[in-house]
Amino acid sequence: MKRLVSLDPTMLHEAPPISCDEQMAIRYAAGYVMRSLKIKLSKSTSFADKILINFVTTLHNGDSEEDEETYFEYTKCWINKVNRGGLFLICDNLFQTFIAIEIVRRTCLKDLQHPPAIDIDT
């Protein structure tokens, strides 16, 4: 497969570790993204969007997973504390995907970690 995007190797850096607080925020944000996607798709009447809704629903953390203790249990506990009933509780596989996306973002876009300060007085 032909590579569509070439990355300059000098832009790649080692990704800084993701803290526990950041992991909890990523789980929350991923749930928000999936909830928004499900709401948007549910407004459509196309057959393809109905298939996508079924797929998104499979990424929801079902009852069978709640019984299992996982490595990411601490993020689930925090989500349960801040959940007011509307969050889309994501499964661990999707959470790991969002963590991987964050690691790639930190590796490839290290310069965006600390954007330059903007003087609002000028």
pLDDT digits (tens, 9 = 90+) for 37-73: 888 888 888 888 788 888 888 777 754 444 556 667 7
Inside any domain, residue 119: no
**Contact partners, residue 36, CB within 8 Å, separation at least 6:** none
For residue 88, give the nearest of 25, 35, 24 by alpha carbon.
35
pLDDT-based confidence at residue 99 (cuts at 50, 70, 90): very high
Inside any domain, residue 18: no
For residue 93, what pLDDT is reported? 87
Inside any domain, residue 10: no
Distances (CA, A) of 47 to 38, 52, 54, 57, 84: 14, 9, 11, 16, 32
For residue 29, what pLDDT is reported? 92
Domain count of the chain?
Answer: 1
Nearest-angstrom CA–CA distance, 35 and 93: 16
Task: Please check the confidence at residue 26 and state whether its pLDDT lies above 90.
Answer: yes
Inside any domain, residue 17: no
Distances (CA, A) of 86 to 5, 38, 39, 64, 118: 38, 12, 12, 20, 36
- The tally of CA atoms less than 13 A away on the side-chain side of residue 7 is 10
Please tell me the pTM assigned to this model. Answer: 0.66
For residue 91, what pLDDT is reported? 86
Inside any domain, residue 113: no
Could you say which DSSP state residue 27 is in? H
Residue 40, domain extent: 27-107
